[in-house]
Structure 1
């Protein structure tokens, strides 16, 4: 084959479309060992990212002593005269391996879509009509995957550093890209292959991955698990709505925490009443009414829920009648009866009955009884009704108020009459005493006893008072007589 023909073939190979590496160098010429002969690789170690394309740069030299019959790339050395495989004939490589050299000194090759199984040492091998030669040591190719690494335990408030790891240092300068839950992250990048999360929050939890700019390969997701104490602790009540005495009620405690809370306690007011996430009451009573809250605990802390009110409805009970006074009244008067009850909601409807009568005799919380009998009340609310025990009202027959008024007026009149009689009697008595004194005066000795009879100091006070009010009787004594003058001179004026 002429030189021109060989040159034409080489140029055709260089300008031909990318094809699997199948070439038999049918070159007129020879190859012999010399100082400048051999294969050189640059670089000799390549770290490539999975699914990327690798170019293994290669040059070789030869002398024109022997004819080159074949040149190819392989990933094995000759052993016991066993020819190493030509990768262009290997189905694993044939569609991905492309020769880029010029068949003279450049033996560069490109391997696309590399996988982890492509991690080998690769050699360029030449076979002449006299000998065989392999460029050893070859190109060491390491194909790496990407892995995201993080601390084993992350607690809310920690500073966390995520690292995008590879099994070797990538040959090409790489720019790393970070994503959380498949959404790119553009902030908080520390170093090129590290992501710094300062004062991590529970919202930072999620699936993290990294990639190299310009490459399709993405690392497997790493789930960042952020631990935090219970939050958003709440209580829910089954059934919801109105709770009636006798119902079955379930209280459930829920919380947001990581790890999930396993320790729950229930409080009524300030007293612990039960443990566990569920608090069930099979037949609820009014005694179960009150404010409840739960406490959720995990290894990082605890949290109380807001208090919820359990309001148990029940029908009236302990219905009783309160009576003002003894219940004994006089005909024409009334006694007030009051009805009281314990119920939820409070009873607003009250009916009054007389024992042994079917019809109600009154309504309202208070009732005025006007007649004898046994009375009871019945209290009603939305949940039901209950009656009280009966109380006895006794009415005594008697005079009406108008009769008593007449009697009172008569008594007052009688009292006045008695006072008048006593007064008249007193006056009459005084008059009698006065006349008696005058009579005594007439019968006394005019010379010896006149002064003595009229000596006021010897008389009683009543007589003195009487005499001072009695006028002189001119018919008894004549003016000018000695007795008259004597009496007149002795009588006080």
Structure 2
């Protein structure tokens, strides 16, 4: 029974020496979740490792874990991505890519995969990309003198620190450029009424405009007579009462006629 023992011992040594641990394989993403603005460029940073002695044959990114014809689809061969995807990595350890002009449809999970001369590896769980647009949240109507807060909202918190820019009637409010996504109008005036939109500095995407309506009471009330000039007994005249207000004032008035000598005064009350 003695001879079989050395054979068993040699077999155990062979398995330990030639076996490859799963710890030798890996893909790391930094960050693993990205929130990007619509129409911007996104960099997905990535590194990968594999056993010593293996040779890299192919590197690519995919957005599905489902294989087609025995392989995961390569994004660089996808017409929706081929012109916008740039591989910034190498065939050693860097697998970073840049995706340009991202759209809302690009919100997805993405995975890096590499093939060696002996095996293949896909980097699960991947990196999650969420693409967002901007929307202005504002009260529909405010009263002159109120404090008003407008918010530039997105569906997720942008990964890159953002400096927000505000526009009124398509003209930039140059004094309103900061890292706060809120625009505060203290003691709002009628001149503040208009269509407001927001953007992020350095990006082309601008939110849809939202109308801010400022209400104020009647001012500059005046009365005019038509026709103007000298009026004689028996003539027909039209009295017009006008004012500046929002919403437009509805005039309910009485007519007061006074006479001093040859002068007749007509007024509304």
TM-score (norm 2): 0.79
Q: Is the 8 A contact 2:64 2:110 kept in 1?
A: yes
Distance 1:138 1:190, change over 3 A: closer
Name the structure 1 match of 2:252: 265
1:80 to partner: Cα distance: 8.1
Structure of higher RCO (CA pairs closer than 8 Å, 6+ residues apart): 2
Instruction: Give the CA RMSD over aligned residues.
Output: 2.7
Q: Computing the radius of gyration over CA atoms, which structure comes out larger, 1 or 2?
A: 1
Matches within 5 A, 1:113-124: 113-124=101-112
Q: What residue in structure 2 maps to residue 102 of structure 1?
A: 90
Kept in 1, the 8 Å contact 2:165–2:178? The answer is no
SS of residue in 2 equivalent to 1:35: helix
Equivalent in 74, 77, 84 of residue 89 of structure 1: 77
Conserved in 2, the CA contact under 8 Å of 1:50 and 1:116? yes
Match of 2:48 in 1: 60
**Judging changes above 3 Å, is the alpha-carbon distance between structure 1 residues 245 and 44 closer, same or farther for their aligned structure 2 residues?**
same
- The answer to whether the 8 A contact 1:33-1:62 is kept is no
Unaligned runs of 5+ in 1: 1-31, 271-288, 295-493
- TM-score norm. by structure 1 comes to 0.45
**Partner Cα distance (2:77, 2:68) in 1:** 21
What is the match of residue 223 of structure 2? 235
| Offset of residue 244 of structure 1 | 4.2
Give the superposition deviation at 1:290: 4.0
1:244-289 alpha-carbon deviations (Å, 9 max, x no partner): 444443333333222233x32122129xxxxxxxxxxxxxxxxxx6
CA contact (8 A) 2:167 2:173 kept: yes
Q: Which residue of structure 1 lines up, in the alignment, with residue 244 of structure 2?
A: 256
> 2: distance between equivalents of 1:77 and 1:243?
90
Q: Give how far 1:97 is off.
A: 0.7
Alignment partners' CA distance in 1, 2:42 and 2:188: 39
Q: Is the 8 A contact 1:266 1:292 kept in 2?
A: no
C-alpha distance after superposition, 1:389-442 (max 9, x if no partner) = xxxxxxxxxxxxxxxxxxxxxxxxxxxxxxxxxxxxxxxxxxxxxxxxxxxxxx
2:165 alignment counterpart: 177
Task: Name which of 37, 40, 49 aligns with 2:28.
Answer: 40
Answer yes or no: is the 8 Å Cα contact 1:96–1:113 preserved in 2.
yes
- 2:4 aligned partner: none
Larger relative helix fraction: 1
What is residue 203 of structure 2 aligned with on the other side?
215
Higher strand share: 2
Q: C-alpha displacement at 1:66, in angstroms?
A: 6.2
Unaligned runs of 5+ in 2: 1-19, 258-263
